[in-house]
Amino acid sequence: MKASPLWTRVRIALTGMALAFGLSACGINNVPTLEEQAKAAWSEVQNQYQRRADLIPNLVETVKGFAQQEREVLTQVVEARAKATQIQVDASTVTDPEKFRQFQEAQGQLSGALGRLLATVERYPELKSNANFLALQSQLEGTENRIAVARRDYISAVQSYNTELRTIPGRWIAAIVYPEAKPMETFTATAGSDRPPEVKF
């Protein structure tokens, strides 16, 4: 007896659903899911670094108005900002160790220059009490906190993704289904970041 076309379609649909459920249960989607989470976390890191870069010109101009003699420190901040904004590592290139290292170094240099700038402000009580400067300083501190949180979240997402690529069955699944998947780079502590910026009075 021949099966009806309706029953054949129902069996095909049920088989397809069972196959899809079986594949999702075995973790076949873990690699792209974790990769997308890591890329989203990286986008947030970039977003916060961009926020910081956007605040710097106003901060420099405010300090310049009160502390013209700090030209060297101001120049260092402007140059570090320019370098940091030139080096771009988007979500598709976080697997490149050299580009990622350059990006991290540039951001570290900018952090150091900003630290030196904010430390020199101690010499200028009138600047420290300026409302515009205080607002910018507060925004910058908030942004630095957001950068720290975004970096932490990115590191966690990359750890999950990289672990999936290096452990079984994720390693096998990636080799067969996602051969283009590569481990992503993550942040490391910048050399000397445990010491406060040196300021000479």
Q: Is the peptide bond before 169 cis (omega within 30 degrees of 0)?
A: yes
What average pLDDT does the structure give for the chain? 86
**Percent of the chain whose predicted confidence (pLDDT) is above 90:** 65
Helix (H) or strand (E) holding 43: helix 30-66
Residues 10-28 have pLDDT tens digits of 777 777 665 555 555 568 8
Give me 84's structure tokens.
Answer: 């940091």
Q: Is the pLDDT assigned to residue 80 strictly greater than 80? A: yes
Instruction: Provide the whole-model pTM.
Output: 0.80
Domains of the chain plus CATH, in order, are 47-145 (1.20.1440.20)
> Residues 31-75: pLDDT tens digits?
999 999 999 999 999 999 999 999 999 999 999 888 888 889 999
